[in-house]
Amino acid sequence: NAGVTQTPKFQVLKTGQSMTLQCAQDMNHEYMSWYRQDPGMGLRLIHYSVGAGITDQGEVPNGYNVSRSTTEDFPLRLLSAAPSQTSVYFCASRLAGGPSGANVLTFGAGSRLTVL
């Protein structure tokens, strides 16, 4: 199994450019999410989805859009990149049902984004 696959691993953007970070999982997980990691701040939730067609905002959603048209894919869009969005982005997924308390979030390898 590939698990959670994120692309690209590295990206440099200029202020105002747009881009999409791709995330795909092959574990049939209902729940998918995007986090950003910044020094001294841990990981903060941007957006999440509990199934195809259902998305919701996390702690830091401004400047980001998401959609979930299939169970497998959960892309993160930056419509107009800003230097404050320079960060490492992680996509993560997990099962929602069953012994849900112990369902572990599985992370992708991360995408390092620099906005100049």
Partner 1 sequence: AQKITQTQPGMFVQEKEAVTLDCTYDTSDQSYGLFWYKQPSSGEMIFLIYQGSYDEQNATEGRYSLNFQKARKSANLVISASQLGDSAMYFCAMRESISGGTSYGKLTFGQGTILTVHP
Residues at the site binding partner 1, with contacts judged by CB under 8 A: 31, 33, 35, 40-45, 48, 50, 58, 88, 90, 92, 96-98, 100-107, 109-110
- 67 neighbors 75 (Cβ within 8 angstroms): yes
Amino acid at 21: L
Tell me the β-bridge partners of 114.
Answer: 12
Nearest distance from C-beta of residue 10 to partner 1, angstroms:
11
**The pairing of beta strand 111-115 with beta strand 87-94:** antiparallel
CB atoms within 10 A of CB 83: 11
Nearer to partner 1 among residue 17 and residue 22 (C-beta): 22
Nearest distance from C-beta of residue 111 to partner 1, angstroms:
10
Nearest distance from C-beta of residue 9 to partner 1, angstroms:
9
